[in-house]
Each structure stands twice: as structure tokens, then as C-alpha cells.
Structure 1
Amino acid sequence: MTLVSTPKNPVPLGANAGYLDVRKGVKVRYASWQSALQQRGGTVCIFPGRNEYIEKYFEVVGELRRRGFAVAIIDWRGQGGSTRLVRGSSRGHIRSFIDYEQDIYHFMKGVVLPDCPMPYYALAHSMSAPILLTPRPSAGAGSIV
């Protein structure tokens, strides 16, 4: 499994985790969980902040699932368990803002849309909020971002 469990922060049960190939040599880590209730309220997509990672949100994942939501979360490229674009594993770096748009596109297309129930909600922390709120001129009708 690609998620790290500790005695004080165990991986919530039922995790589906892996990597998405967003381009040659770049993998983005993700995890998802179905709701813990039969009555479902949709899916909360969690977009962590700068220098954050999936494991930091295990408590939030558990709470959302207990409230009837499925949960999907991503490690942005350059952070968490995703590919680093520069040498030095403690550095996060992107070449262009488009890198984040590609991460969102592949996350939605590969994880959320095929496996998670609608409606979709976004929980964005720190740097993720402006990433999600930035207008995308190329995002037209039928776009998933």
C-alpha cells in the first residue's frame, strides 16, 4: 500500500490508494474511500496545502466518512508521496501552474469520476484554494476542471 500508518494515525479502513501517471516520469499519489454509511452525501475531494500529504488528513477522512461522504485526496506533484521535479526530496517545485491543472485533471478523470458518487465538493487548504479558484480559459463545456 502507498499510505503510511502509525499507531497514533492509522490508515482509515477501506482505502484505495495508488499513483496516477500524469506524464512521463511524473506520478501523483492519491487515495479514496467510500462512505461509511449507506445513505451517501456525495464525495469530498481534499486538496492539501503546501508541504502537506494524504496522511495528515486521516482524521478528516474518518469524520467525513462517518457523515456519509466518500472521500478522495491527492498529493500534489512535488509533495507527499508524489514525484519530485527537482533533486532533494524535501523540495516542492513545479515548472508551470499548468502542472497543477494537469494533476487535477488526472485526479478527477482517473479517480473521482469513475469511482466516487456525485455531487462533488472541494475541501482546499492553503495553496490549494487559489489553485482551484483560478479561472481556466481552456476549461469549456464538458470540462472536468
Structure 2
Amino acid sequence: MDTLLTMPSDKNGIYFLHTSLMETSDKRHLRIVSKVQKHNYKKGTLIFLQGMEDSCERYGELFYELSARGFSYASFDWYGQGESVPETGNKKISRLTFDINQHIGDLDEFLQKIVYPDCPPPYYFLAYDMGCLIAISALDIINNQCQRFIGLSPLFTPLGYTTGSFQSKLTSLMTDFGLGRLKLPRAKSLFSNISGPTKGTNSEIDRLKNSQNIPLPDRRWLARVLETVNFAKARLNKNDLRFPTIFVLGHNDKLINTQKLLRFSNNVRLADIMTLFGAGHDILNGADNSKKQFWALFDTFIPGTKAYDINY
């Protein structure tokens, strides 16, 4: 029997999230949130994979919308992000790290321990930012279960960096020479989406107030991410994708190179790309117009969703 440690419920506006902790095989604990719609059991489950330094509380509105549409859902905080941040004594980690093998392993355990035993099929994946990069890197794990996939603001060009560019080669060289801890220009912009005013629980507000204490990505982090981008793109170029996919980009996204992604996605089998006019990087928590565009796309792409039957 897998160990789930009960935690107090959190509140984000009018949305209540009942969270638990999943114990991994190496005794770490990842916070999860899940809900099974027993009256709409056949509709299936939406698996949401979060982005950079996210936590479950930020997506109360997303989970509410999924419930309104009759979907079960499940999500978790990546280790080292959100409320699953490792601590040494009373000190949090001083440097943001990225370990794709660990992230893929955590995703596999989450699916095997939480999603597949308890949440009903069919399974749809919604992945944002870094979560999209990890999911595409883990195609061997999700290919046989995923029915459809939506990738929001995929971090295939982090901060505009592209694989094979002079900047990426310089970053790799600096890392090899032990200069990987040098800070990245515009690194703070990765967290700008979560550092502004918000309504929610005291714990979420406190986390946002302390956002300036969050370790920022450095050259070593970027080098590892770009290596993962190369791997993920290779999987897509080899036509390893087995499910219909839409990559959704914000027209005003300042963190990724949308033109590069548009050109790349044109050559990927089973994948299309949509650009939301006026949207930035954080589509799910952006302006109302951006969210309306996203949900219209969602209701069109995910089977069994009838937008006109939804009562808000």
C-alpha cells in the first residue's frame, strides 16, 4: 500500500483543494491534488503537469473548470518546486536545479501510484511550461495511456535560448569550465507570473511574498534544460508521438521564441500549434480574454466536452 500523508485543505478564493503527500521510492514527498468525479466516471481524467516553480494553489480556477466539465483531475508539485521544496534544517536549497531523470521518475511514480489505480480512463494531459518539456521527454511513459495532449507555453526555447545557437554553445562551454553558477540575464522573468498580487490562502500569499528568495536559474540549469530540449525535439522528429497534440502559444509570450516553435512544430506528426491573440506566457492565470480563448480550444479538442452545457 502506497503511503499518503494527509495535509490540511488549502483554499484559493472560492476553490478548496484537498492535498496529500505521495512518498516516492527514495523516501521524498511530493504534494498531490486529485479528485474523482464518480457521477461522470466515464468522462475520464485530466492530468495537469505544472510549470516552473508552481504550486497547486495557483490552479484552483483550472480545477474548478475541469470539475464543471465533469472531468476527474490529478496534479502534483515537482520536487524542488511549489510546496515540495527540499529543506536542509531550516534552510531551503540555495540553487535551482534541474534533473530530467528525477522528474521523469517522479512523473512515472505519480501515474503508477495515484492516477492509474484511482482515476478513471481515458487520460488527457495538460502540461504547462516546464511540465510540457518533461512530458515530451517521457513519451515512453505516457504514450500508451494518453489520449490527447495540450502543451501550454512549452519551454522548448527557455528565455529565448535555442539549441545549437551561439548562446547555447557558450553556456555549455562555461558550464564545462566550472562557470555554471553564473546568473542568467532575465532569469527573474521566469518567476514574474507568480510574484504579483493574488487572492488566496495565507500560505500562498506568504509564498509569493517570499518569491524573491527563490533561487534563480543559472548557466548550469540552462545547460541541462537545453540538453533536455534537444532530447525532446529528437523524440518528436522521430515521430515517437502517438497521440494528437496541440501546442498553445501566447501571442505576447516574452519567455519563449514563438517563431522557432512555429517552424519546428510544422514538421511534427500528430502535432498542431495554436497562437492565442493577446496572451502572455501564463495563459491559465492571464487576462479573461486569454482564458476564454483557451477554454474554447479545450472544449473543441478534448472529446466529450460540450461548452454550451456548462453551468458557471
1:11 aligns with 2:16: yes
Cα distance in 2 for residues equivalent to 1:90 and 1:40: 45
Q: SS where residue 105 of structure 1 aligns? A: helix
Q: Which residue of 1 aligns with 2:108?
A: 105
Give, as a single letter, the amino acid of the residue that structure 2 aligns with 1:93. T
2:66 equivalent among 57, 64, 67? 64
Segments ≥4 residues shifted beyond 4 Å: 89-92, 142-145
Give the letter for the 2:56 counterpart.
Answer: I
Aligned to 1:127: 130
Partner SS state of residue 16, structure 2: coil
Aligned equivalent of 2:28, options 26, 29, 32? 26
Q: Which amino acid aligns with 2:108?
A: Y
SS at match of 2:84: coil
Q: Which has the higher contact order (CA 8 A, sep 6+)?
A: 1
Quote the residue 2:55 is aligned against.
53
Aligned match of 2:43:
41
Mark the structure with the bigger radius of gyration.
Answer: 2
Aligned to 2:92: 88
Separation in 1, partners of 2:144, 2:8: 29
Instruction: Tell me, in whole angstroms, the C-alpha distance in 2 between the residues paired with 1:59 and 1:36.
Output: 20
Give the unaligned 5+ runs of structure 2.
1-6, 147-312
Deviations 1:50-109 (A, max 9, x none): 011111111110111110100001100001121427752686434x21110111011101
- TM-score, with structure 2 as normaliser: 0.39
Count of matched residue pairs: 137
Structure 2 vs 1, CA of residues 89 and 2 (structure 1 numbering), >3 Å: closer, same or farther? farther
CA root-mean-square deviation: 2.8
Aligned residue identity for 1:80: G
2:56/2:76 contact within 8 Å kept = yes
Amino acid at match of 2:125: A
Indicate the residue corresponding to 2:244 in structure 1.
none
Paired residues of 1:50 and 1:127 also in contact (CA < 8 A): yes
Contact in 2 for aligned 1:5/1:11 (Cα 8 Å): yes
Amino acid at match of 1:19: L
Instruction: Identify unmatched segments of 5+ residues in structure 1.
Output: none
Q: Quick check: which one's helix share is greater?
A: 2
